[in-house]
Amino acid sequence: MKKSLSEYHSLIDLFKEFREHIKPVVINGLPNFTSNAMENQYNGLKLLQERLGNIQINDWDIPHQVDYHVLRSEMNGVEFDHKVLKQWSRDPGFYNLTDGIYPRLLVHHSRSLSDWGLYEPELPFTAKDYEGFKLKLKVIPKLFDQAKHNLTDAVPELAEIAIRIKEKDIQLLDGFKKEFLIHHQELVPIVEKAIVATKDFRNWLIENKSSMVGKVGIGKENYNWWMKNVHLIPYGWNEFYTMIQNDYNRAISFLKIEQNKNKNEPGYHLTSDAAENLSRQGDAAIKLMKFLNDEEIITIPDQLEPLPVDQYPRVWGSSAYKRPNHMGFFEQTNDREPMTNIAHVFFGHYYIGDRKIWYQKSGEHYIRDKIRLYDIHEARSEALAFGIEEWLMQAGLFDDRPRSREINYVWQAFRNARALADLKMHSNEFSLKDGINFFSDNVPNNWAEKDDDAVWWDIEETLRAPGHSTNYIVGKNMMHQLMMERSKQLGSDFTLKLFFDEFMNGGIIPISLTRWELTGYKDQINDLLSL
């Protein structure tokens, strides 16, 4: 036992070394993604993988073996990054300052530990933040110069997305300039140079897009390897497609049943101003908390307060009353009935902090306490958030809000349509345009316009992070299986509260690993290890 514990501590040391190794090398504030830097990172990764493979875990207890497989899957993610995704040479959007909605830099690399994010600052700067933000602005021209040299395998459709987002980047920097004229005039020349460089890079992409030849999708074989070896999902593309198409059909059928049932109910009421919008969401948050307690769905830790105002899903800073002539999907749904997304955000995201459960004891599992790389956490957390929307509805949360059930099924259809587009684009059956059109056309009520930022954001997200959209639906189905299996194991001792407490206490790890820990069933992991 002592030997296995010492070996486990060596695993933690290896994890720390691995996480340090994959951080981008930063030279005078500029992250280095040149071919030489990436080659060095990959060569170092192979040595780390070899050391991991030499660790014997057969006599470890299951939780410690699970931690081993978490590290293995993250290393596989970095390997895939270098062999297939190659975002630094393939995706011009890797160098965007925003992702089309949120202000951040190096969006995809944030999935692999970049801390070089450019967020909107609170002005005037504190002394602590000033120099760091100044440096980030200062290196933007150098970043785009580097990008031009790095993008040797650029994909034209990813460039098209990047060009669109460059307009958002320019708006972001223009906003900084206006604020700096008031608070920090000495920064104005720096941000002006950043604006010029951003426009220049946009123009470079426009001029060079026609000569780019890479495919937007990674192909079925690569997709399957990614999902099985990184996200530890024991299924493949064909199974995903069947599962998601069936779920989409179900969502539309149930929506029509609900619409028929509610035909004599009052119509939806869109919020008319900010106060009403926030009040409606606040009421929903309080009702949700009460419901979770009263119905004994999950243990609510004492320190967890009702969802605060700044966490409400305020449709990315917009709302129907702000843009009555151009409402995107989030405005259309949340402004009619916010409860579905409140449940999603609270249970799936706010209920966790820094990618770990609020009430999980820190330090019990060092590896699990860290944010997962490559959206591995989302294969579990988004599945939970998506699943809880319907589970709470079936539990009675929406019984006094009949039209809320309609909104719930609209959300389901939205996410399934997005996932089908994900699969078809990555199999290269759909172009970018095909994916956007399919996604938009298959969202009920015409609530997702083809030019809406939310649609483009979702398409961009799923192209950069294969499986991101798929994992919502597949993960939800895996949780259905896990709930069934635990109910059989526990018999009359099974309760929803026990199940969700157990599930949450396992941390933000792939569901197949959680299943192994909770049930003792290792068949899915064995199948994945035999690949």
Q: Locate 276 and state its tokens.
A: 């009403």
At 25 the three-state DSSP class reads strand
End-to-end CA distance of the chain: 30
Q: What is the mean pLDDT of residues 84-106?
A: 78
- Do 312 and 260 sit in the same domain of this protein? yes
- Do 367 and 381 sit in the same domain of this protein? yes
Residue 530 lies inside a defined structural domain of this protein: no
Q: What is the DSSP letter of 24?
A: P
Residue 42 lies inside a defined structural domain of this protein: yes
In 170-312, at which residue ranges do the beta strands (DSSP E only) sit?
none
Q: Is there a contact between 110 and 141 (Cβ–Cβ < 8 Å)?
A: no
- Do 358 and 337 sit in the same domain of this protein? yes
pLDDT tens-place string over residues 222-251: 999 999 999 999 999 999 999 999 999 999
> Can you give the pLDDT at residue 118?
55
pLDDT tens-place string over residues 314-330: 544 456 666 666 678 88
Q: What is the mean pLDDT of the chain?
A: 88
- Do 198 and 231 sit in the same domain of this protein? no
SS3 content of the chain, % helix, strand, coil (to 5): 65, 0, 30
Whether 448 has a pLDDT exceeding 50, the answer reads yes
Whether 197 has a pLDDT exceeding 70, the answer reads yes
> How many C-beta atoms lie closer than 10 Å to residue 229's C-beta?
19
pLDDT band for position 355 (50/70/90)?
Answer: very low
Query: What sections of 317-467 are H helices per DSSP?
Result: 329-334, 339-345, 378-395, 402-426, 432-441, 453-464
Q: Look at residues 327, 224, 214 and name the one whose alpha carbon lies nearest to residue 270.
A: 327
pLDDT tens-place string over residues 139-176: 999 999 999 999 999 999 999 999 999 998 999 899 99
Distance CA 383, CA 471 (A): 7
Q: What is the mean pLDDT of residues 69-76?
A: 96
Residue 106 lies inside a defined structural domain of this protein: yes
Q: Is there a contact between 168 and 67 (Cβ–Cβ < 8 Å)?
A: no
> Can you give the pLDDT at residue 356?
43
- Do 80 and 101 sit in the same domain of this protein? no
Range in 18-27, 277-286, 454-463, 475-484 the model is least confident about? 277-286
Q: Locate 160 and state its tokens.
A: 């098209």
Whether 359 has a pLDDT exceeding 50, the answer reads no
Q: Is there a contact between 464 and 87 (Cβ–Cβ < 8 Å)?
A: yes
Q: What is the mean pLDDT of residues 378-398?
A: 91
**pLDDT over 90 percentage in the chain:** 63
Residue 356 has phi, psi (to 5 degrees) of: -135, 155
CA distances from 309 to 120, 275, 316, 342, 415 (A): 19, 11, 13, 11, 25
Q: Is there a contact between 521 and 379 (Cβ–Cβ < 8 Å)?
A: no
Q: Which of 214, 233, 255 is the last residue of a domain?
A: 214
Q: Which of 64, 85, 106 is the last residue of a domain?
A: 85
Q: Which of 50, 70, 85 is the last residue of a domain?
A: 85
> Can you give the pLDDT at residue 360?
47
Whether 114 has a pLDDT exceeding 50, the answer reads no
Amino acid letter, 228: K
Residue 95 lies inside a defined structural domain of this protein: yes
pLDDT band for position 308 (50/70/90)?
Answer: low
pTM value surpassing 0.85: yes
Range in 49-53, 80-84, 330-334 the model is least confident about? 330-334
Q: Is there a contact between 517 and 62 (Cβ–Cβ < 8 Å)?
A: yes
The residues pairing with 352 across neighbouring beta strands, listed in sequence order, are 357
pLDDT band for position 373 (50/70/90)?
Answer: confident
Listed in sequence order, the residues at least 6 apart from 34 whose beta carbon sits closer than 8 Å to its beta carbon are 146, 149, 150
Listed in sequence order, the residues at least 6 apart from 136 whose beta carbon sits closer than 8 Å to its beta carbon are 29, 105, 116, 118
- Do 41 and 182 sit in the same domain of this protein? no
pLDDT band for position 117 (50/70/90)?
Answer: low
Q: Look at residues 289, 251, 284, 33 and name the one whose alpha carbon lies nearest to residue 149.
A: 33
Distance CA 158, CA 461 (A): 11
Residue 488 has phi, psi (to 5 degrees) of: -70, -40
Whether 499 has a pLDDT exceeding 50, the answer reads yes
At 352 the three-state DSSP class reads strand
Residue that has been written with the tokens 């009520």 in this structure:
445
Whether 50 has a pLDDT exceeding 90, the answer reads yes
- Do 402 and 304 sit in the same domain of this protein? yes
At 27 the three-state DSSP class reads strand
Residue 514 lies inside a defined structural domain of this protein: yes
pLDDT tens-place string over residues 392-401: 999 999 998 8
At 260 the three-state DSSP class reads helix
Residue that has been written with the tokens 């119509």 in this structure:
267
- Do 237 and 183 sit in the same domain of this protein? no
Range in 130-144, 194-208, 291-305, 441-455 the model is least confident about? 291-305
- Do 39 and 124 sit in the same domain of this protein? no
Whether 181 has a pLDDT exceeding 90, the answer reads yes
CA atoms within 13 A on the CB side of 339: 26
Residue 175 lies inside a defined structural domain of this protein: yes
Q: Look at residues 89, 195, 101 and name the one whose alpha carbon lies nearest to residue 141.
A: 195
- Do 237 and 166 sit in the same domain of this protein? no
pLDDT band for position 2 (50/70/90)?
Answer: low
- Do 109 and 80 sit in the same domain of this protein? no
Q: Is there a contact between 504 and 387 (Cβ–Cβ < 8 Å)?
A: no
Q: What is the mean pLDDT of residues 85-113?
A: 70
> Can you give the pLDDT at residue 450?
94
Q: Look at residues 474, 473, 417 and name the one whose alpha carbon lies nearest to residue 445.
A: 417
Range in 45-59, 212-226, 265-279 the model is least confident about? 265-279
Q: What is the mean pLDDT of residues 406-412?
A: 96
Q: What is the mean pLDDT of residues 398-410?
A: 92
Residue 525 lies inside a defined structural domain of this protein: no
Q: Which domain holds residue 108?
A: 90-214
Residue 285 lies inside a defined structural domain of this protein: yes
Whether 477 has a pLDDT exceeding 70, the answer reads yes
Calculate the dihedral angle through the C-alpha atoms of 495, 499, 500, 501, rounding to the nearest 10 degrees.
100
Q: What is the mean pLDDT of residues 506-530?
A: 93
Quick one: how many helices (H) and strands (E) in the chain?
Answer: 21, 4
Tell me the three-class secondary structure of 75-120, residue by residue. HHHHHHHHHHHCHHHHCHHHHCCECCCCECCCCHHHHHCCCCCCCC
> Can you give the pLDDT at residue 315?
44
pLDDT band for position 26 (50/70/90)?
Answer: confident
Q: Look at residues 245, 226, 214, 163 and name the one whose alpha carbon lies nearest to residue 456.
A: 163
Whether 371 has a pLDDT exceeding 90, the answer reads no
Q: What is the mean pLDDT of residues 466-491?
A: 96
Higher pLDDT among residues 2 and 84, named by residue: 84
When divided into structural domains, the chain yields a total of 3
Range in 121-130, 259-268, 392-401 the model is least confident about? 121-130
- Do 68 and 104 sit in the same domain of this protein? no
Residue that has been written with the tokens 């410690």 in this structure:
64
Listed in sequence order, the residues at least 6 apart from 305 whose beta carbon sits closer than 8 Å to its beta carbon are none
